[in-house]
Structure 1
Amino acid sequence: MTRRARGHGPLALLLRLGGNLIALAGRRRRRLCILTYHRILERPDPLLESEVDLASFRWQMRLLADGFNVLPLPEALQRMRQGTLPPRAVCISFDDGYRSVCELALPVLQEFGLTATIFATTAHLDDGSMWNDRILEAVRRLPEGAFDWEALGLPPALAAGRKGGVVSDAESRLHIATVINEYAKYMPPPERLRVIAALEQCAGNPDTADLMLDRAMIVALTRAGNEIGGHTVTHPILSKVEDEHALREIVDNKHALEQIVRQPLRLFAYPNGKAGVDYDMRHVRMIGAAGYDAAFTTAGGSAGPDSARYEIPRGRPWDRTPIMFGLRLLRWLAQRGA
């Protein structure tokens, strides 16, 4: 679909003017904002408050189309290195590979003439969901009341949290799901799966919908002009698995996706993405050896010519109003590198 005519609302005009002034001040070292999304929701979900619903995603994409210069990520990286970025340069990315990217986000991107990079895992291309979504759906369906969290292999400190760890309303379920997710994230994978199985049993073994992209969806995304990037097979915390395991996660994921898209993968995003916590220089070297051109963290802020090739920062769009969303991007673009 061709891009619609630019809007000329007051906010978009303000953002264009502000972004142009920022660009003039740092013409030789213009910076790039790379936004990160995960799931797009049909409607707001109290247990997924950090995820963007479809209506919010549409106004965000409209504002990007009207107020910024949205570039494909490979092109933006090349121009950043060459010093030829346009003012107000922004890229869009999605992590994990949720099917909502194809079913909900893609029509909106096409409506505004935008493209994105999707960093996809490959463990659930045929069916199933990632471990964090299994936890969420189990907590959603837990019966009300107190639980012996320690018996499930979870920390007793969980009971010291909001409402004493008692399952009741949506607020308590969100708190419990968040605590379990943060704890389980750094567990050895076999232990994590045991805890999830026990939690699901307490919840009556709920069926979890197939939430991830399938092969046909990945092909459809690429045919629509989007880039596919690597994100490991099972989304492990690379620093918490053995080197051989980490390398296999990186290489097998790259190979599987290249078989689908029929072209080399150029870009990689670290699972969870915190330097020194979720990955370290061992994994940076693995990414280079696997043949990737660049890799991305979750450090927030903007990228520039000073950004390390395999540790390029990206930021998540937390703001819930257009003015705060736009001003955050301007603040990031105004950053100065080393």
Structure 2
Amino acid sequence: MPGKKAIFAKVMRAIGLPPIVTRMRSLVCDEVTILAYHRVLDIADETAYPFDPDLISASSADFRWQMAYIQKHYTPITFGRLLDCLDGKDTLPPRPIIVTFDDGFDDNYHFAFPVLKSLGVPATIFISTGYIDQPRTFWFDWLYYLYNMAAASPVQPLSFAGASFSLSRDPARRQEITANLYNHAKRLPDDVLRTEIAALEKRVGVSYPENGFPQSRPLSWKQVREMASHGIELGSHSVTHPILANLSETKLHEELTVSKARLEHEIGQPVDIIAYPVGYDFAFNEKVIEAARKAGYRLGACYLPGINRAKQMDLFRLKRLHVERYVDRSYFQTMLALPEFFS
């Protein structure tokens, strides 16, 4: 049965209210909306897809529709322009919106970038620099793959860092279990997390293919540079995508400064913005924010849902609206028009 929010969104769209509410809202609310995406990808059969389908924010067709919609009803900007406004060099346009991507999967280049370029919509990609140009995918997608491989084996259940997880090939049940696995993994000390993933590889008996997986591949630096040359803004997402709040001060400083320096070297532009990996309240704290300031960042985006009031903006806790694969066109329109109802 559809959720109440989805039903409400369909009713709103059916009577044509979202664009009207959006225009009325902009007359009384001075705010900046930030959208959070991960991947744009088309998969024909979820049951045969070995990686995390919840990282897919939209199909290529839905993403094109979404970008055309915000181009018509909002003013897409970059964080660079937002900083100019904060510095008094510019003023915010009507209904400003920022499109962001986390991690740095190569479908950002193959499927999202052509749409953004053709529509003239700017976007920001937050990149975990240690994965770029590497065959290995991001640790969280690899962990999902290992779970899938374990579920196809006779081993029951899966043990990970002192916790036990049942195995299932049913898509709905699998997503529920892997969500619990992720929540457990994300709260581990970073060195323990990496050790446990390596140990799980051995237990499942899976070795990483030399050329990686075409369905879950990081960007290349060549792709990053090309996108930067065509107006895509780059931000840091650390080096190895750790939970920053779990790191020592030394390791935290390294993750923040090395990623920033590498990006600036590759694109020849300053990098002033970071998105905290995972980005929920357990993943960053005052220690992380202070370290980000010291590393030279001027803005920090989290993954807490919501919008940002222009005159009360918390520059290192910028909230974002999540675009997920269940977000249909009605939901997308209404979420932007009434973000409080969907946050």
Give the Å deviation of 1:12. 12
User: Which of 1 and 2 has higher RCO (CA within 8 Å, sep 6+)?
Assistant: 2
Q: Is the 8 A contact 1:122 1:233 kept in 2?
A: yes
Q: Distance in 2 between matches of 1:256 and 1:16?
A: 41
Deviations 1:71-130 (A, max 9, x none): 223213443676943332211001111111111110111222111011101111221111
What is the SS of the residue equivalent to 2:97?
A: strand
Q: Distance in 2 between matches of 1:85 and 1:307?
A: 13
Residue equivalent to 1:290 = 295
Out of 84, 97, 107, the residue aligned to residue 104 of structure 2 is 97
Distance 2:305 2:172 in 1: 27
Deviation of 1:314 after TM superposition, in Å, equals 1.4
Give the drift of 1:194: 2.7
Match of 2:242 in 1: 236
- Give the aligned partner of residue 183 of structure 1: 184
Q: 2:22 aligns with which of 4, 16, 19?
A: 19
| Corresponding residue number in structure 1 for 2:69 | 63
How far 1:274 sits from its partner (Å)? 2.2
TM-score scaled by length of structure 1: 0.84
Structure 2 residue 276 is matched with structure 1 residue 270: yes
CA gap of 1:146–1:225, structure 2 versus 1, over 3 A, is same
Unmatched segments (≥5 aa) in structure 1: 1-9, 159-164
Question: In the alignment, which residue of structure 2 is the partner of 1:39?
Answer: 39
Shift of residue 261 of structure 1?
Answer: 0.6
Matched AA of 1:105: A
Residue in 1 that maps onto 2:143? 135
Q: Which residue of 2 aligns with 1:322?
A: 329
| CA RMSD across the alignment | 2.6
| 2:259 pairs with one of 237, 247, 253 | 253
Instruction: Measure, in 1, the Cα distance between the counterparts of 2:15 and 2:72.
Output: 6
Instruction: For 1:46-85, list aligned pairs within 5 A.
Output: 47-52=52-57, 53-79=59-85, 84-85=91-92
Q: Does the aligned pair in 2 maintain the 1:31–1:85 contact within 8 Å?
A: no
Equivalents in 1 of 2:204, 2:147: separation in Å? 7
How far is 1:233 from its partner?
0.6
Residue type at the aligned position of 2:140: N
Point out where structure 2 has 5 or more consecutive residues left out of the alignment: 1-12
Counterparts of 2:16 and 2:224, CA distance in 1: 35
Offset at 1:219?
Answer: 0.1
Q: What TM-score do you get using the length of structure 2 for normalisation?
A: 0.83
> Is contact 2:38-2:55 (8 Å) kept?
no
Q: Letter of the aligned partner of 2:286 in structure 1?
A: M
**Shift of the alpha carbon at 1:244?**
1.1
CA distance in 1: counterparts of 2:307 and 2:167, whole angstroms: 40
CA distance in 2, matches of 1:247, 1:235: 13
